[in-house]
């Protein structure tokens, strides 16, 4: 079962998920700012670490341009806290163990992994505008170089 992918102009599904400290983070609380919501398979894995570090390194630049960044994975808060500490991450990471939010965003479903079709998290980035609408929906993105590409595409 593959969830429906979002298209530009869609209303971004609202969510409230716990961050690394167990604090509830909701998309609605970011209204009035743009939000880059990125979905990744697992904390403490090489590609996801690279991506989280790239977002952390560019957080000031993105924040200055009016963007908040939220990373979503199926991990529990305890694992997110370990990830944050180990890699000194500044980006907000939230956990979605039920995968409801991942599914709502079209970021969970069938994907190719080493030539096999598996069901899992599809590395995706959704840019949400100030009104809570999808501005960009990028699916099957690469972990490496992705943040630089977003910055370029958004003209930051």
Which mean pLDDT values do the consecutive 10-residue runs of the chain (156 residues) have? Answer: 82 97 96 96 93 96 97 98 97 97 95 89 96 96 92 93
Token pair for 15: 């969510």
Please enumerate in sequence order all residues whose Cβ is within 8 A of that of 90, keeping only pairs 6 or more positions apart, or say none. 56, 59
Q: Which residues are catalytic?
A: 48
The pLDDT value recorded for residue 1 is 45
Please enumerate in sequence order all residues whose Cβ is within 8 A of that of 19, keeping only pairs 6 or more positions apart, or say none. 25, 77, 80, 92, 93, 94, 95
The pLDDT value recorded for residue 113 is 80
- The structure's pTM equals 0.94
The pLDDT value recorded for residue 20 is 97
The pLDDT value recorded for residue 141 is 93
Return the number of other C-beta atoms located less than 10 Å from residue 84's C-beta. Answer: 20
- Asked whether the beta carbons of 105 and 4 are under 8 A apart, the reply is no
Rg of the chain, C-alpha, whole Å: 14
């Amino acid at each position: 079962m593959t969830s429906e992918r979002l298209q530009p102009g869609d209303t971004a599904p609202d969510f409230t998920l716990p961050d690394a400290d167990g604090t509830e983070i909701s998309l609605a609380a970011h209204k009035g700012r743009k939000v880059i919501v990125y979905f990744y398979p697992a904390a403490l894995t090489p590609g996801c670490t690279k991506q989280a570090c790239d977002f952390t390194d560019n957080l000031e630049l993105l924040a200055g341009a009016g963007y908040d960044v939220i990373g979503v994975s199926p991990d529990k808060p305890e694992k997110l806290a370990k990830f944050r500490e180990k890699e000194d991450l500044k980006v907000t990471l939230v956990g979605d163990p039920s995968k409801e939010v991942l599914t709502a965003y079209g970021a969970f479903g069938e994907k190719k992994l080493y030539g096999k079709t598996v069901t899992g998290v599809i590395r995706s980035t959704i840019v949400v505008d100030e009104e809570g609408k999808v501005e960009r929906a990028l699916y099957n993105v690469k972990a490496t170089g992705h943040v630089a590409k977003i910055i370029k595409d958004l003209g930051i």
